[in-house]
Structure 1
Amino acid sequence: MIELGAIAGIGLVAFGMVMTPGPNMIYLVSRSVLQGRTAAMISLGGVAVGFVVYLVAVSAGIAAVFALVPEIYLAIKLAGAGYLLWLAWKMIRAGGRPAAANRELTPDRPLKLFLMGLLTCLLNPKIAILYISLLPQFVDPERGNVAFQGLVLGLTQIAVGVAGNAFFIVTAGSVAGFFARNPVWQRVYSYAMGTALAGFAVRMATDRSSAAVALR
């Protein structure tokens, strides 16, 4: 039986993580502001599936593969950086258009929104490293099946992360009306979010740490 203190501990850590701005949060908030809460929630569904994929993959030993074959880790990391740069360019380009032109843009369809959320999550291999370095700290072999404990703790982290991002989506959605009345601020917001995503991309691409180092 897993200890409730371990669940509370991983929940607290997950809460701290979701409160720290990262690529997922920036993308979801920007989607909420520019296309609405429903669109952002669909993207959040993709992010959640990405978390589950990494949790299952970690159980299958993908983090060890990253450590043994650093080229795979590097390739995924660079692909993720490139994807974030593409998102940043879309945000900055939208900010450069007149407000009327932005309102006339065709909204992304649900499948595309879902896949973009999924890619935003999957193209960050450090999530796998996070799971394999963080979860064991809360697992107690004396309390039974270690794999089951890891699954419960991982799902706890996912639940807190999804709930936290949903809160930011709802809060950001209320800002959309203000931006509709103040197009100048919408452009400022687009530039700021695009710059933030570009910053994450550069940091990801230039980070010299390896999967093996991250696992220590």
Structure 2
Amino acid sequence: MTLEAYIAFCIAAIAIVIVPGPTVTIIIANSLKHGTRAGLLNVAGTQAGLLVWMAIAIAGLASAITYMGVWFDVLRIAGAAYLIWLGIKLIRSKGQLTAAAATAPRGGFFFQGFVVILSNPKVLLVFGALIPQFISKDGDYPNQLVLLGLSFMVIATVFDSLYAFAAGNAGSWLSQKRVRFVEVSSGLCLIGGGLWLALRGR
């Protein structure tokens, strides 16, 4: 691909990453309640999930989804239910800032980030619609896909980590009332994302 096409992809990837979605919401919420380390573990988990998505894309995303058939729908519904559950849990929280007052997710923050990214609609957008537009038909498909996939991962790591650091440091001066507002807003966003994922179909 040309340098211009690669730069255009990076700009598009940044635009997608910086818009808060399920992944960013979880990173911010956990960084506020458990500290920056929890948010960074979420980020690490999302990167592991992105590697899985890239492997699926290399194998052929469309054909993989068709082959999986009903199991892809099961994964989609399970992911949607998980997002809704996380949203309800956030809404029911009491805005407590200390780590002792908040319970870490089962399986840890890394696994939570991994699960959330697997059901994140943004990733379907990136690997199913965005990346194919920038791949040259005359070039080597797998190598181009790996380059763009890894570039997206780097961009996501940088900006998601910035969210984690910002939220983690903010936790020291945010009042309980403001944290409660963030929790409710984040919870509603997660529930909305889960409902959208469940109703959109394949």
State the TM-score, normalizing by the size of structure 1: 0.83
Structure 1 pair 70/125, CA: closer, same or farther in 2 (3 Å)? Answer: farther
**Quick check: 1:119 aligned with 2:118?**
no
Going from structure 1 to structure 2, the CA distance change for 1:186 and 1:106 (only over 3 Å counts) comes to closer
Q: 1:128 Cα shift?
A: 4.1
1: CA distance, partners of 2:24 / 2:30: 10
Is 1:206 aligned with 2:188? no
User: Which amino acid is 2:167 matched to?
Assistant: A
Please give the per-residue CA displacement for 1:131-156, whole angstroms capped at 9, x wherever unaligned. 132222112233x4221111101111
CA contact (8 A) 2:35 2:171 kept: yes
Tell me which structure has the larger Cα radius of gyration: 1
**Structure 2: gaps spanning 5 or more residues:** none
Alignment of 1:42-191 (within 5 A): 42-67=41-66, 70-95=69-94, 99=96, 104-105=100-101, 107-108=103-104, 112-124=108-120, 127-128=123-124, 130-142=126-138, 144-179=139-174, 182-191=175-184
Task: Return the letter of the residue paired with 2:197.
Answer: M
Deviation for aligned residue 1:53: 0.9
Which amino acid in the other structure matches residue 171 of structure 2?
A
How many residue pairs get matched? 202
> 1:195 corresponds to which letter in structure 2?
L
Residue 166 of structure 1 and its aligned partner are, at CA, apart by 1.1
Calculate percent identity across the aligned residue pairs: 24
Counterpart amino acid of residue 49 in structure 1? A
Distance across 1 between alignment mates of 2:192 and 2:105: 27
1:127/1:13 CA distance change after superposition, 3 Å: same
RMSD: 2.4
Deviation at 1:174, TM superposition (A): 2.4
Partner residue in 2 for 1:10: 9
Asked if the contact 1:76/1:124 (under 8 Å) is kept, the reply is no
In structure 1, distance between residues paired with 2:45 and 2:53: 12
* Alignment partners' CA distance in 1, 2:157 and 2:106: 18
With over 3 angstroms needed to count, the CA separation of the structure-2 counterparts of 1:129 and 1:196, relative to structure 1, is closer
Read off the aligned partner of 2:196 and give its amino acid letter: R
TM-score (norm 2): 0.88
Counterpart Cα distance in 2 of 1:156 and 1:193: 27
User: Structure 1, residues 151-205: CA drift from partner, whole Å, max 9, x if none?
Assistant: 10111111111211111111222220122xx222222222221111111111111
Distance 1:177 1:57 in 2: 41
* Corresponding residue for residue 213 of structure 1: none
Counterparts of 1:62 and 1:11 in 2: how far apart (Å)? 21
Q: Amino acid of the residue matched to residue 15 of structure 1?
A: I
